[in-house]
Amino acid sequence: MVNIMPGDHVTDCHVLVIGSGGAGCRAALEASQYGETVLLSRTLTGKGGCTVMAEGGYNAVLAEEDSTGLHFEDTMRGGAYLNDPELADILVTESPDRFRDLTAWGSVFDVEEDCVPAQRPFGGQRFNRTCYAGDRSGHEMIATLTEQIRNTGIRQMQETSAIDLLMDGRRVAGAVTLDGDGTLGVITADATILATGGGTRCYDISTNCAAGTGDGFALGYRAGATLIDMEMVQFHPTGAVYPPDSRGRLITEAVRGEGGVLKNSLGERFMERYDTERMELSTRDVVSRSIATEILEGRGSEHGGVYLDVTHLPAAEIERRLPIMLEQFLQFGVDIRIQPMEVAPTAHHLMGGLKINPDAATTLPGLYACGEVAGGIHGANRLGGNALADTQVFGKRAGEAAGKAPAITLQVDIDEVLATEAARCDAYCRGTTPPHEITRELKHAMWDNAGIFRTKAGLKEVEATVSRLQNLVPKAADRRMLNECCTVTNMLTVARLIIHGALLREESRGAHVRQDITQDWTPADSPFGHTVQSLFGTAIEERRGAA
Amino acid sequence: MNTITFTIERFDPETDPAPHTETYTVDINEGARVLDTLHAVREQCDPSLTYRYCCGSGQCGSCTVQVNGEPVLACMHEACDGMAVAPLNLPVERDLKVEMKSYLQDLTGITPGIFTGYLTVEANEAIRPIRDCIECLACVSECPAVAVTAFAGPTAMRQEMRIALDPRDDRDRASLTVDEGLFTCTTCQRCLEVCPKHIEIPGKAIEKLREIAHREGLTLPKHQTVADMVRATGRGVDRIMPTVLEQVPEVIEPVGKVRGEVGFFVGCMYNGRLPDTALKMLAVLRRNGIRVIIPPEQVCCGSPLIRTGQTEFIRELKRINIGCFTKRGIETVLTMCAGCGSTLKNDYDTPYRVIDINELMTEYGIEPPVSSSIPMTYHDPCHLRRGQGVTEEPRAILRMLTDDFREMPARCCGAGGGVRSGMAEVAADLGRDRREAIAETGAAAIVTSCPFCEFHIGEHSAVPVINITTLLFESYEKRDEESGEDSGWKDLPCREEE
């Protein structure tokens, strides 16, 4: 039943980049300067991933009055000091240069006056440093990057998934692929970059695109890479709540950056009770918990959210600065110029991910990671606007390091690899359960017990659910569904990593809240460091010199 | 939960000789989008249904499909019972998934890619309106020129213009766009109509690229001839018969009570090529109580120049055409040419209101005509339907004229945008497409409301093309014949010799 690409089922290249969002595109552009580069994408290039749908902006220190030191402090404080300081420093230091790269390649970000980029305020930052293109900032970036990719010799393999990393002993040497027809293939590479993005689709309510299933985390984990802080799931404060199928759709932080206010059903601007100083522009973890608390305590809106209101802003300003929001809500019958939006938290971003060093190298030789699949940069909570910057800074670093990697001579039996994968696919063909039934149960269980508020008991419950689901074999009724079966398997792996991390971390910190634990330390003097998970064991790091 | 039944066009090139339609009934949530119903079909009916999607929020441009013949983003368009879902008019890979990769690969980007500073406000503002493209290819799938000739298509032109506007790019791309078919676009505005981001490709890309091409001496000779004629005579067509302006006085009083007053902008085609059609329209208004004022000094609106990028003396034309009505204190100006109407409404900033004849007749109401049972169809002139948003008014009038009105798909006939004069073979191909569409309706007459369409379809159609006001004229004539009455409405006063 499973096809193996006859004859030419092996593609060889110097650098393989898996994923064509902001990080993958940037990595491929950089790597292609060093040798033949393949950009593998399960969607059309640039159309997958969350970059294209990112709205708010890109943080870069551009103004003289701002400083990278300040940006660093904001990032660390926002991340509850769980960030790897070296990575955070690289992020803030190199972000302006990467913004200039985008500009050189043709990006059209808004300008304040002639030749001065416009920058808006975003949560948790003491300076207006979020560059933007209206509320389609990520789209602007992807448009720019894909235009550049078309100008290069980068080989695009589209609508084809990586279902496993290709291993040569402990070394990563490419990937096994599966296309939309269910045909297996192999890409061999001297260096492989995972740029597969995030994975909050394992939650019932999520901002992520269809590709946000966390495959890269699972591929890396299965190959033996180390992952850190997987429990750190950012719930974006403002997702749509209505109609039911649109729940979770991102309502950009730019709405609050432009002056939007949050109100409960009593008309109270409730952020006064949670963060008097920063109000709506507090960090995302704080705002999400505040909204969730208002809803839980019965002050929610008609459809189970709270109100986000921009009606006090001039209509022309809304039309110019938030055109996508305006248009999207109009499609659902709400005119945000005259009516408040209804919003509630939605699973948005995984701060954790593959452990990387400053070269974006993972713990496995030959494997690099950049963008959301990499961990450590954002600590326990990411600042809005730092993710788009992250894709460019670490995309470039990964591309450069991978590009400079030496050529390797492969010692792997491709036929054997393909036979193993074919057997896996055959098992799916004989599977028992429709994939959507598994994901549906997973999503609800994760939302209920591994969401904004967590307890050990709840986490144990969802762990049991995931274990049970992992014992089911997703069924491919058709060979074109094999990809979906692989994805479901990966989602379960990601869910398990999140749950395990959450059990390991017996404290509340950043986005991770353990209601069953009382603690007498602040994030800055927490006794804990990263949670660490790999095939070879799990642990939570103890911090030297902490309380 | 709601239950809906709808159809999907399915096609598996490996097994199916041709696409076929399947009907599905699924349970969906309230407010579900088309994409949600496709998911429901996969989960509840047939897991092999193939379609492309990703972001779910109208930003990635992956999921465009046709719903009831119109391209929409499946993730944003609300599903409804009875809808017909089909792939875009592009090569189908399977079911609703169409080939997009090769087209996207050919879209151009900035070179050389060296940082030289940020954009000025002016450059930013110029590029912004054509920068929102999500590359969904709805425009390409619906472009009539793409269908019949080697035209790179609307979004490729949009991208070329976006590059041309960018000071960071150091290439000259105008000549390239001419090779890519710049002059094959009829400016029918179908691309704008279907664009989920409302990008004005004809006005903000095609016509602007043509301006650049014009500055570089790349204007087509036939277009140059038209411009020369407008410059020399104020008219886009030469004089081969007595014109409307030569025949009518400055004011035509209606028979009976005056119900309204408009200025009349005649337009070159009705003035010099189809004067009888215009005179019949004037008689219809005369019968219906509308006083018409016709300033004799009016000139070409400039449409044939704007559409082809020859804009250097447009200001002068605008000055004359605005002045001649305002100095007579006219508040409403009537057009019966769809192209002139669209130009006055969209390219001018007029101190007076511009109204199309179909809008005028709807607004004031007309004496109901004698109805017939002749099967008739209506061709939407692009510059009326998309340029002015006038679609229902002529249909309502037509339904008074026949009890057998038949719709046909609204597609460009090929006459617009200078294509008829500059790219005759492209125009002819599109004209032949119309002939087939007309034949399919089985109508005995095709009614329209644009001189270019009347002329062009007339050359290609097997059935007669009639202006909607001519049809009214004939209907009133018939009533008079039957009743033996004649108020003298047809006897337009003659222009007094000076």
Question: Do both B422 and B447 map to the same domain?
Answer: yes
What are residue A187's phi and psi, to 5 degrees? Answer: -115, 120
From chain A, pick out residues whose CB is under 8 angstroms from the CB of B120.
111, 114-115
Q: What is the ipTM metric for this complex?
A: 0.95
Question: Do both B185 and B80 map to the same domain?
Answer: no
Across chain A, mean pLDDT equals 95
pLDDT band at B453 (very low <50, low <70, confident <90, very high): very high
Catalytic entry in A9, A249, A256, A349: A256
Question: Do both B83 and B109 map to the same domain?
Answer: no
pLDDT band at A18 (very low <50, low <70, confident <90, very high): very high
Helix (H, G, I), strand (E, B) or coil at A515: coil
Residue B151 lies in a domain: yes
Instruction: Write the pLDDT tens digit of every residue in B321-365.
Output: 999 999 999 999 999 999 999 999 999 999 999 999 999 999 999
Question: Do both B136 and B62 map to the same domain?
Answer: no
Nearest by CB to residue A147, choosing from B42, B109, B121, is B109
Q: Which CATH number belongs to the domain containing residue A256 in this structure?
A: 3.90.700.10
Distance CA B126, CA B377 (A): 41
Under 8 Å between Cβ of A109 and A103: yes
Under 8 Å between Cβ of A243 and B32: yes
Calculate the alpha carbon distances from A410 to A36, A171, A173, A314, A481 in Å: 17, 10, 7, 62, 31
DSSP state of A452: S
Residue B236 lies in a domain: no
Distance CA B370, CA B392 (A): 20
Residue A1 lies in a domain: no
Residue A157 lies in a domain: yes
Residue A4 lies in a domain: no
User: Which of the residue ranges A387-391, A407-411, B6-10 would you say has the lowest mean pLDDT?
Assistant: A407-411
Q: What is the mean pLDDT of residues B438-462?
A: 95
Q: What is the mean pLDDT of residues B224-237?
A: 96
> What distance, in Å, lies between the first and last C-alpha atoms of chain A?
59
Packed helices B357-364 and B392-401: angle between N→C axes, nearest 10 degrees: 70
Interface subset of A 258-317, CB within 8 angstroms of B: none
Question: Do both A68 and A214 map to the same domain?
Answer: yes
Q: Which of B365, B396, B423 is the last residue of a domain?
A: B365
Residue A151 lies in a domain: yes
Q: Are strands B20-28 and B260-265 parallel, antiparallel or unpaired?
A: unpaired
Distance CA A168, CA A5 (A): 21
Across chain B, mean pLDDT equals 95
Question: Do both B81 and B144 map to the same domain?
Answer: no
What order do you get walking across the sheet with B2-10 strand by strand? B20-28, B2-10, B84-86, B64-67, B70-73
Cα-trace Rg, chain A: 22
Question: Do both A249 and A314 map to the same domain?
Answer: yes
- Examine the pLDDT at A327 and tell me if it is beyond 50: yes
Residue B484 lies in a domain: no
From chain A, pick out residues whose CB is under 8 angstroms from the CB of B42.
436
- Examine the pLDDT at B8 and tell me if it is beyond 70: yes
Helix (H, G, I), strand (E, B) or coil at B391: coil
Helix (H, G, I), strand (E, B) or coil at A63: coil
Under 8 Å between Cβ of B462 and B490: no
Question: Do both A110 and A188 map to the same domain?
Answer: yes
Q: How many domains does chain B have?
A: 4
The alpha carbon torsion through A284, A289, A292, A294 (nearest 10 deg) reads -110
Distance CA B199, CA B190 (A): 11
Question: Do both A283 and A386 map to the same domain?
Answer: no
Q: Which two tokens stand for residue B287?
A: 């019968």
What are residue B178's phi and psi, to 5 degrees? Answer: -65, -40
Under 8 Å between Cβ of A361 and A401: yes
Q: What is the mean pLDDT of residues A224-246?
A: 96
Q: Which of A330, A346, A362 is the last residue of a domain?
A: A346
pLDDT of residue A6: 45
Distance from CA of A223 to the nearest CA of B (A): 27
Q: Which two tokens stand for residue A324?
A: 């996508």
Interface subset of A 364-423, CB within 8 angstroms of B: none
Amino acid at A532: V
Residue B394 lies in a domain: yes
Interface subset of B 70-109, CB within 8 angstroms of A: 76-78, 100-101, 104-109
pLDDT of residue B223: 96
State which residues form the domain around A493. 414-542
Q: Which residue has the tokens 């017939």?
A: B372
Q: Which CATH number belongs to the domain containing residue B77 in this structure?
A: 3.10.20.30
Q: What is the mean pLDDT of residues A251-270?
A: 96
| Interface mutation target, options B36, B41, B60, chain A, most CBs of A under 10 Å | B60
Q: Which CATH number belongs to the domain containing residue A31 in this structure?
A: 3.50.50.60
Residue of B nearest to A477 (CA): B47
Q: Name the residue among A195, A262, A211, A208 with its Cα closest to residue A235.
A: A208
Q: What is the mean pLDDT of residues A37-47?
A: 97
Question: Do both B326 and B388 map to the same domain?
Answer: no
Sign of CA dihedral B307, B312, B316, B322: positive
Distance from CA of B382 to the nearest CA of A (A): 26
Residue A252 lies in a domain: yes
Residue B227 lies in a domain: no
Question: Do both B281 and B330 map to the same domain?
Answer: yes
Nearest by CB to residue B57, choosing from A53, A105, A143, is A53
What are residue A329's phi and psi, to 5 degrees? Answer: -70, -35
Q: In which element (H, E) is residue B23 found? A: strand B20-28
Question: Do both A331 and A358 map to the same domain?
Answer: no
Q: How many domains does chain A have?
A: 3
pLDDT of residue A547: 47
Question: Do both A87 and A159 map to the same domain?
Answer: yes
- Examine the pLDDT at B171 and tell me if it is beyond 90: no
Question: Do both B381 and B320 map to the same domain?
Answer: no
Question: Do both B120 and B94 map to the same domain?
Answer: no
Residue of B nearest to A323 (CA): B197
Residue of B nearest to A150 (CA): B105
Question: Do both A21 and A158 map to the same domain?
Answer: yes
State which residues form the domain around B53. 2-98
Q: Which of B365, B400, B419 is the last residue of a domain?
A: B365
pLDDT of residue B175: 83
Residue B464 lies in a domain: yes
| Interface mutation target, options A245, A332, A478, chain B, most CBs of B under 10 Å | A245
Q: Which CATH number belongs to the domain containing residue A516 in this structure?
A: 1.20.58.100
Distance CA B187, CA B34 (A): 30
Give catalytic status of residue A430 as yes or no: no
Distance CA B316, CA B324 (A): 12
Nearest by CB to residue B50, choosing from A53, A101, A480, is A480
Question: Do both B50 and B108 map to the same domain?
Answer: no
Question: Do both A48 and A99 map to the same domain?
Answer: yes
Question: Do both B78 and B115 map to the same domain?
Answer: no
The CB density around residue B493, as the number of other CB atoms within 10 Å, is: 12
Please report, rounded to a whole number, the percentage of residues in chain B having pLDDT higher than 90. Answer: 95
Distance CA B416, CA B186 (A): 5
Q: Which CATH number belongs to the domain containing residue B391 in this structure?
A: 3.40.50
- Beta-carbon contacts of residue B272 (< 8 Å; ≥ 6 apart): B235, B237, B238, B239, B240, B241, B243
Q: What is the mean pLDDT of residues A182-202?
A: 97
Peptide bond into B17 cis (omega under 30): no
Residue B354 lies in a domain: yes
Under 8 Å between Cβ of B443 and B254: no
Question: Do both A37 and A105 map to the same domain?
Answer: yes
Distance from CA of B12 to the nearest CA of A (A): 12
Q: Which CATH number belongs to the domain containing residue B144 in this structure?
A: 1.10.1060.10
Instruction: Write the pLDDT tens digit of every residue in A87-141.
Output: 999 999 999 999 999 999 999 999 999 999 999 999 999 999 999 999 999 999 9
Question: Do both A173 and A258 map to the same domain?
Answer: no
Q: Which residue has the tokens 């932080």?
A: A253
Distance CA B69, CA B64 (A): 12
Q: What is the mean pLDDT of residues B384-393?
A: 97
* Chain A interface includes B131 (CB < 8 A): yes
Residue B229 lies in a domain: no
Question: Do both A467 and A506 map to the same domain?
Answer: yes
pLDDT of residue A7: 52
Residue of A nearest to B104 (CA): A150
Please report, rounded to a whole number, the percentage of residues in chain B having pLDDT higher than 70. Answer: 100
Q: Which of B98, B128, B157 is the last residue of a domain?
A: B98
Q: In which element (H, E) is residue A171 found? A: strand A171-179
Distance CA B150, CA B180 (A): 7
Instruction: Write the pLDDT tens digit of every residue in A454-511.
Output: 999 999 999 999 999 999 999 999 899 999 999 999 999 999 999 999 999 999 999 9
Give catalytic status of residue A236 as yes or no: yes
Helix (H, G, I), strand (E, B) or coil at A462: helix
